[in-house]
Every structure is written in structure tokens, then in C-alpha cells.
Amino acid sequence: MEKNILKFTINLLLFIDLCSVGMIGLLLAFVIPRGGPRSGDGYFLWLHRHDWADLHLYLALVFLLMLFVHVSFNWKWVVQSYKRYFGEVWRKGLLLTAVAWIFVLLVGWTLAKM
């Protein structure tokens, strides 16, 4: 497959996946009832709230995997952009961005465990 067609396909799948994760997140937050297992509540479109949460998680993991593929396909552009905007210290800028992302992920993971 031609590289541009593959990039377009990955971008389209990223968009669809992100929209799906967002919509399911909104459903979980505002639409699907928070009923307990004995109350019979918590169902929306024949799926329980926990099933929707599982789907939300799996789609988010697929999104992260596709995002990694997307960045790897566009790595040359990323490096060139950092060279253009950061000049001689572009490696430090790229490293700082990576460290910031790792920090954000660790803080999010820590807060999720609380």
C-alpha cells in the first residue's frame, strides 16, 4: 500500500476512534444510569455500564497504539519541526517534551489509583 494512503487510513481510524472514546465517555458521564447490580439499572442499548466502560478502555488503548504508529510514520516531520523551532537545542526540546508527557501519564496513573 502506498505510504500516503496508509497515513490517511491511520489518521481516519484515529479520528473515528477518538470520537468513539469521547462519545462513550460522555455516555458514561451523563446518560448511562449508575444503578447497582440488583436494581436493574445501569443498562443502555442492552449493555451494562461496566461493558461500556470496558469498551471505552479498549478503544482508548487502540487509540494509543495507533497514535504511536502515527507518530512513527511522521517522525521525520517531528524532528524537522523541533529543529526549526528550537534551533541548536532541538534535542533538549524533544527530550523535555518526552519527559513532560511521561510526567503527565504518571500523574494521571497515580490519580487514577487513588
pLDDT(106) > 70: yes
Same domain (yes/no): 90, 47? no
Using the 3D structure, point to which of 55, 73, 91 is the last residue of a domain.
Answer: 73
Same domain (yes/no): 68, 85? no
Q: What is the CA radius of gyration of the chain?
A: 19
pLDDT(79) > 70: yes
Task: Note the pLDDT of residue 113.
Answer: 79
pLDDT(75) > 60: yes
Calpha distance 17→56 (Å, rounded):
10
Q: Which residues, including other chains, have CB under 8 Å from residue 100's CB and lie 6 or more apart?
A: none
Same domain (yes/no): 15, 35? yes
Domain, as residue range, for 112: 75-114
Number of domains making up the chain: 2
pLDDT(90) > 90: no
Same domain (yes/no): 54, 79? no
The more confidently predicted of residues 81 and 35 is 81
| pLDDT, average across residues 13-36 | 87
Q: Which residues, including other chains, have CB under 8 Å from residue 53's CB and lie 6 or more apart?
A: 28
Same domain (yes/no): 69, 92? no
